[in-house]
A and B are shown apart, each in its own frame.
Chain A
Amino acid sequence: MNETILTTIKSGIVDLFPDVGKIPITAQMRLGDIPDYDSMAAVNLQVFLEERFPLKVSLDMLTEDMTLGELIEYIGRYVKNN
């Protein structure tokens, strides 16, 4: 399941932040690695995640030191428990 979540997040990041260019989007990527990632970028990512997955993501989670791996784990756990 984690692979599917990563693929969805990858497509979202490329769409939302095209300037990500050739930066590898892997589980190790930190949100802060996205060029010009700021609180408004976090709002865009929050809206994307809530539209794609049946979950609530609070804005205070999406800080720049969060890795995609941690995000995927959270989504996986949320989807499983709800």
Chain B
Amino acid sequence: MDPFDILSALKDVQQSWMDRPQELVRRQAQLALQLQEATLEELKSFLRAGKSETGEETGQPDFLDALRSAGQMARRHHAVCQSWIRDLIVHSPGLEGRQRERMLFWTRQVINGLSPSNYFWTNFSAVKRFLESNGESLARGLQSFAEDLLDGHPLMRMADTRAFRVGRDIATTPGAVIFRNDLMELIQYEPATRTTYPVPVVFIQPWINKFYIFDLTAPMSFVRYLRDRGFTVFMISWKNPDAGMRDVTFDDYMLRGALQAIRVASAVCHGAPVHAAGYCIGGTALSALMAWLNREPPRGAQPFPVADWSLFSTLVDFSEPGDIGFFVTRQSVEWLEATMRTQGYLSEKTVELAFRLLGSDSLIWRNFTNSLLFGMPPPKSDLLFWNSDSTRLPAAMCSFYLREFYLNNRLVRKDALTLGGRPIDMERIMQPLYAVGAQIDHICPWRSTFKVCDKVASAVRYVLSSEGHITGIVNPPSEMSRRKYWAGEARGVEDSDQWLSRQEERRGSWWDDWAQWLSARSRDPGEPPALGTTRYPPLERAPGTYVMEG
């Protein structure tokens, strides 16, 4: 069983070197030499530790010096082997590009796991802490490890889950749930200004993890930022699926989720078409919905329900899906489908594991060293707390999403996909688009998110933000910000790097650029709408019920 094609990639690398045994032997000799050099250098430095600067003996290096040096030597050897293996894969003759990347990805997982910093005796800081605390640090670490293991977290918790409570410290912007169905709750936030723009912002959130990534602690809250600038904000909070939702489809998320939210928000705002914004998979659903709506636009006096749309770190063209693509092979999808057949959903543990493997260095091993070897409590970070609050995915939707988007890449192919009874053709989309990608995003690589620019008929403003999938998007402006972004028109542009070479670097957060873009399309501010309507009355205070579901 090889669901991720690791063995076949390994076999390909091996095979590709079979024809060039001499070159392989030369590389092996080079590795031996590099290891020897590293050993000699470290030994010399170790022996120098026992001498003064003038070269006089000051006594033998003690046990701690020996440990420190052993750790350093292990790290040097690890670095030499790491770069040797990487080089071997990169230069494997005749290896196909994607297969090469696959091999690099999985080898990186093994190499990260074998880093000397992850082991007690080769992590000098761990030993030092152990001695200084009379063994307390490791005892604490082992206790946390045992507790996390019993609680079903074998990779150990990433965040202090007791430090925050949803509705108390995060997701606290005042508002109300004004609509609920079996799939989602729609939150309308209270206005923060005397007047508001008549065109509301509707966030179609990802249903992988919870909605409050846009309403973390007050200084980080995207919702608060928009509210303070006179926007009425609506937010979808998805239900965390259980086995009863096994048959929920992508169409459901698009129509009974995104479209329903847009209709309710528009009704509350006196029929105004909305600014629709989708993040990650929420953006993919919004893109499909835009094509769906443009297939048969409303006739007569009824306006088109979306004034403009925005995508944050969203893939529409899945031809180069980044590292996440290494998890999605035909075999792995079949394997996941078999698991989901029994459970009815993809478990939150599997989703969490996949995302942590994408950044295993920080999200697995650094956390492991900190918690187990150092005996430190997990960090009190709102962002990491959110990251740990994973959700399940309904079987039917998940299977469709992996097959039709990741494996078959049908969304961008004209009429290749039928959703909600209509063939999907992105080229029919006429409404202005604002698309954001993040420079070091491993989940939705920015060059792949850029591919939407020449797939739609509408005007496109593309923004490249510094940072990653989360921090590039949750990017509040602040006085001390050192972040940067590039922004410019990108309608019909195919080459992302060429586009980037024409843009100038701007300091700060792209949020201000977006707020300006939205306000130019929002008409003059007026009296804020009431919270809900007679048809959609407030049902409970935000953040509602679904977000609390474990």
Using a CB–CB distance below 8 Å, which chain A residues touch chain B? 14-19, 21-22, 36, 38-44, 46-47, 58-63, 65-66, 74
The answer for the CA separation of A18 and B112 in the assembled complex, in Å, is 13
Choose from B75, B370, B467, B476 the contact partner of A16 (Cβ within 8 Å): B370
Whether A41 lies near B72 (C-beta < 8 A) is no
* CB-defined contacts of A41 to chain B, threshold 8 Å: 362, 366
Whether B125 lies near A61 (C-beta < 8 A) is no
The answer for the CA separation of A15 and B482 in the assembled complex, in Å, is 25
Contacts A58-B480, A60-B478; A43 near B384 (Cβ below 8 A):
yes
- Map CB proximity to A onto B374-387 as digits: 1 under 8 Å, 0 otherwise: 10000111011000
Asked if B466 lies at the interface with its beta carbon under 8 angstroms from chain A, I say yes
Contacts A44-B362, A58-B478, A61-B480; A39 near B379 (Cβ below 8 A):
no
* CB-defined contacts of A58 to chain B, threshold 8 Å: 219, 476, 478, 480-481
Contacts A18-B117, A18-B123, A58-B219; A38 near B480 (Cβ below 8 A):
no
Besides A40-B362, A41-B366, 14 other A-B contacts (C-beta < 8 A): A14-B125, A18-B124, A21-B75, A36-B362, A39-B440, A39-B468, A40-B359, A44-B366, A44-B370, A47-B379, A58-B219, A58-B478, A63-B466, A74-B480
Whether A43 lies near B379 (C-beta < 8 A) is yes
Whether A47 lies near B72 (C-beta < 8 A) is no
Nearest Cβ on chain A to B68's Cβ, whole angstroms: 11
* CB-defined contacts of B123 to chain A, threshold 8 Å: 18
Q: A-B pairs with CB below 8 Å: how many?
A: 83
* CB-defined contacts of A36 to chain B, threshold 8 Å: 361-362
Asked if B284 lies at the interface with its beta carbon under 8 angstroms from chain A, I say no
Nearest Cβ on chain B to A69's Cβ, whole angstroms: 14
Whether B125 lies near A63 (C-beta < 8 A) is no
- Map CB proximity to A onto B70-102 as digits: 1 under 8 Å, 0 otherwise: 011001100100000000000000000000000
For A56, the closest partner residue in chain B by CB is: B219
Asked if B196 lies at the interface with its beta carbon under 8 angstroms from chain A, I say no
Using a CB–CB distance below 8 Å, which chain B residues touch chain A? 71-72, 75-76, 79, 115-117, 123-125, 219, 359, 361-363, 366, 369-370, 374, 379-381, 383-384, 440, 466-468, 470-472, 475-476, 478, 480-483, 509
* CB-defined contacts of B75 to chain A, threshold 8 Å: 18-19, 21
For A50, the closest partner residue in chain B by CB is: B380
* CB-defined contacts of B384 to chain A, threshold 8 Å: 43
For A47, the closest partner residue in chain B by CB is: B379
Choose from A15, A17, A66 the contact partner of B374 (Cβ within 8 Å): A15
Contacts A22-B72, A43-B384, A60-B476; A16 near B366 (Cβ below 8 A):
yes
Whether A38 lies near B476 (C-beta < 8 A) is no
For B125, the closest partner residue in chain A by CB is: A15
* CB-defined contacts of A15 to chain B, threshold 8 Å: 125, 374
Whether B482 lies near A63 (C-beta < 8 A) is yes
Choose from B79, B124, B470 the contact partner of A39 (Cβ within 8 Å): B470
* CB-defined contacts of A18 to chain B, threshold 8 Å: 71, 75, 116-117, 123-125, 369
For B41, the closest partner residue in chain A by CB is: A22
* CB-defined contacts of A42 to chain B, threshold 8 Å: 471
The 10 tightest CB contacts between A and B, nearest first, are A40-B362, A18-B117, A47-B379, A39-B471, A60-B481, A39-B468, A63-B482, A61-B480, A60-B483, A36-B361
Choose from A47, A61, A62 the contact partner of B381 (Cβ within 8 Å): A47
Whether B482 lies near A65 (C-beta < 8 A) is yes
The answer for the CA separation of A15 and B383 in the assembled complex, in Å, is 21
Whether A38 lies near B481 (C-beta < 8 A) is no
For B219, the closest partner residue in chain A by CB is: A58
